[in-house]
Amino acid sequence: MSTTVVSLISMGTMGALFALGLAVASKKFAVETDPRVDEIEEVLPGVNCGACGFAGCRSFAEGVASGKAPTNGCPVGGARVAKLVAEILGVEDQGSAGRKVAQVLCKGGHEEAKRRGDYMGPQDCRIANAVQGGDKGCSYGCLGYGTCASVCPFDAIVMNENGLPVVLEDKCTACGKCVAACPRDIIVLVDEVQGVHIRCRSEELGRAVRSVCSVGCIACRRCEKACPTGAITVEDNLARIDYDKCINCRKCVEVCPMNTIEAQEGKPVIKKKSAS
Amino acid sequence: MNLLVILLSAILVNNFVLVRFLGICPFMGVSKQVETALGMGLATTFVMVVASAATWLIQWFILEPFGLPFLQNVAFILVIASMVQLVEMFLHKTSPSLYRSMGIFLPLITTNCAILGLAIMAVQGGYTFIESVVFGLGGGLGFTLALVLLAGIREELRFSDVPKPLQGAGIAFIVAGLLSLAFSGFAGLV
């Protein structure tokens, strides 16, 4: 009995003393922080992925509070988080910044594109490209050794049987690792809503393209003429699309003789495009 | 003379990390950069010194007179946790970058077994108050020494050609083992 009481009193007193000391210290060493930073951090996903360009969710929250980052800067949180952050700061919600996904700009796999030799080295596009410019007939096309798939930290790229990478868009986080790894700069990050892509990077003349690939752009300019918004221009023997203008109308897809331009399913026509 | 022996013994011969194998968690976790390792070491040293003084007072003026030695662990952890909280507040205020680079390992000093071990060993060794504090200082300095040594080697390792299966944690553990072997050379000195 007495032991219990003594234990309780001594431990309780010690605890109270330390608590008092810490309370004083916390006043003395209090760090002035913007209370909004904590509130913003609360609503962020909290995975510290760094996709916003800041070192983590905390840094991003500080950036938003000090006006260095946009309220919709968190790509993982999307529109929901953007709205909450805007509410905390008392500013107008700017909506989701739009998720980006990787797009592979080459359609020439084993079936469509010719090879000009046999490459027996390590199965890595970067190495293959360094050996005499790769074994592909087209010096712009995908080498097909799957370096993009192997560097993807989210398993969002798989190589299909035709030797071309396929982006699984629901897994893609637009981290840009594949873009950096591809020795031929075939992969680009594009707003998820964009559904029409010119899948060719070749700046060769039409005849040279035809001789090595059955789906390459021959710069016939039919897409350029068909486009109602002026989103496509042909430059250096290659049709190029301006995603800021493209509305997914698919008129270019219908007229392309080489089937280079591809429309993705499930991406509807964009009705209104704000000038940005 | 006796104090010097206690100090050197705690730093080298019975180094808490490399010989007694206490506090391995921050030893591996915060030893990637010398600067961070030094900060961690000094924070731990501070906690060790203050904790060894406080726990000595608690042991001989509260626990023993009231017949409560069984509360030793609880009381000591209470002291250590408070000290760690204090250090955490202090660091957050004075050096935010160090605070951030130490991350979770700073509050984890609380559960660093080297500190509780030190407090209990000081009691078991029957040290006086001064001896206790010197023992704490030695323990802390030894901990810092081990951390900084490993961090220095790991910084150099970043530029060396390590076989793939051993890269990262693997080679760090091997280096830690070799360091520990080297420190066993001090055995029998005191």
Contacts of A11 in chain B (CB under 8 A): 71, 74-75, 78
Residue B154 backbone dihedrals phi, psi, to 5 degrees = -70, -30
Query: Residues A117-131: what's their mean pLDDT?
Result: 89
Q: Do B92 and A25 touch (CB under 8 A)?
A: no
Query: Residues A124-138: what's their mean pLDDT?
Result: 89
Tell me, yes or no, if A23 comes closer than 8 A to chain B by beta carbon.
no
Question: Could you report the per-residue pLDDT of B73-121, keeping only the tens digit for each?
Answer: 888 998 889 888 888 888 888 887 778 777 777 888 888 888 999 999 9
Task: Give the global pTM.
Answer: 0.56
Q: Which of A6, A25, A31 sits opposite B68 (nearest CB)?
A: A6
Strands A261-263 and A238-241, by their bridges, are unpaired
Q: Which of A7, A10, A29 sits opposite B92 (nearest CB)?
A: A29
Q: How confident is the model at residue A276 (pLDDT cuts 50, 70, 90)?
A: very low
Cβ atoms of A89 and A65 within 8 Å: the answer is: yes
pLDDT for res B1:
61
Chain B residues near any Cβ of chain A (below 8 Å): 58, 62-63, 66-68, 71, 74-75, 78-79, 82, 85-86, 89-90, 92-93, 96
pLDDT for res A133:
84
Q: Do A14 and B58 touch (CB under 8 A)?
A: yes
Q: Which of A3, A6, A25 sits opposite B89 (nearest CB)?
A: A25
Q: How confident is the model at residue A95 (pLDDT cuts 50, 70, 90)?
A: low
d(CA A269, CA A55): 36
Residue A62 in this model has a pLDDT that exceeds 80: yes
Comparing A139 with A32, which gets the higher pLDDT? A139
Query: Residues A152-171: what's their mean pLDDT?
Result: 90
Burial of B39 (0-12, 13-18, 19+ CB in 10 A): buried
pLDDT for res A32:
74
d(CA B174, CA B119): 29
Cβ atoms of A78 and A150 within 8 Å: the answer is: no
The CATH number of the domain covering residues in A194-276: 3.30.70.20
Comparing A4 with A275, which gets the higher pLDDT? A4
Q: List the single residue in B with minimal CA-CA distance to A12.
A: B75
The CATH number of the domain covering residues in A35-89: 1.10.15.40
pLDDT for res A209:
92
Contacts of A10 in chain B (CB under 8 A): 62-63, 66, 68, 71
Dig out the tokens for A237 from the structure. 């023997």
Q: How far is B47 from chain A (nearest CA, A)?
A: 14
Q: List the single residue in B with minimal CA-CA distance to A18.
A: B82
Residue to test with chain A: of B55, B57, B85, B101, most A Cβ within 10 A: B85
Residue A69 in this model has a pLDDT that exceeds 70: yes
Q: Do B66 and A10 touch (CB under 8 A)?
A: yes
Q: Which of B71, B85, B90 sits opposite A11 (nearest CB)?
A: B71
The sign one gets for the Cα dihedral A114, A118, A120, A126 is negative
Right CATH for A102-192 from 1.25.40.10, 3.20.20.140, 3.30.70.20, 2.160.10.10? 3.30.70.20
pLDDT for res A269:
83
pLDDT for res A273:
56
Comparing B66 with A165, which gets the higher pLDDT? A165
Comparing B16 with A52, which gets the higher pLDDT? B16
Is A194-276 the same fold as A102-192?
A: yes
Query: Residues A84-93: what's their mean pLDDT?
Result: 82
Ranges A152-166, A262-276, B144-158: which has the least confidence: A262-276
Q: Do B68 and A21 touch (CB under 8 A)?
A: no
Helix (H, G, I), strand (E, B) or coil at B44: helix
Give buried/exposed letters for A196-229 (b at 16+ CB in 10 A, else e). Answer: bbbbbbbebeeebbeebbebbbbbbebbbebbee
Q: How confident is the model at residue A96 (pLDDT cuts 50, 70, 90)?
A: low
Residue A167 in this model has a pLDDT that exceeds 90: yes
Residue B153 in this model has a pLDDT that exceeds 90: yes
Q: How confident is the model at residue A59 (pLDDT cuts 50, 70, 90)?
A: confident
pLDDT for res B62:
87
Question: Could you report the per-residue pLDDT of A178-219, keeping only the tens digit for each?
Answer: 998 999 999 998 888 888 999 999 999 989 999 999 999 999
Secondary structure (DSSP) of chain A = -HHHHHHHHHHHHHHHHHHHHHHHHHHHT-----HHHHHHHHHS------TTSSSSHHHHHHHHHTTSS-TT--TTTHHHHHHHHHHHHTS--------EEEEE-----TTTB-BSS---S-S-HHHHHHTTT-SBSSSSS---S-HHHHH-TT--EEE-TTS-EEE-TTT-----HHHHH-TT--EEEEETT--EEE-----S-HHHHHHHBSSS-----HHHHH-TT--EEEETTEEEE-TTT-----HHHHH-TT--EEE-TT-PPP------
pLDDT for res B53:
92
Domain boundaries, chain A: 35-89, 102-192, 194-276
Tell me what ipTM this predicted complex has: 0.72
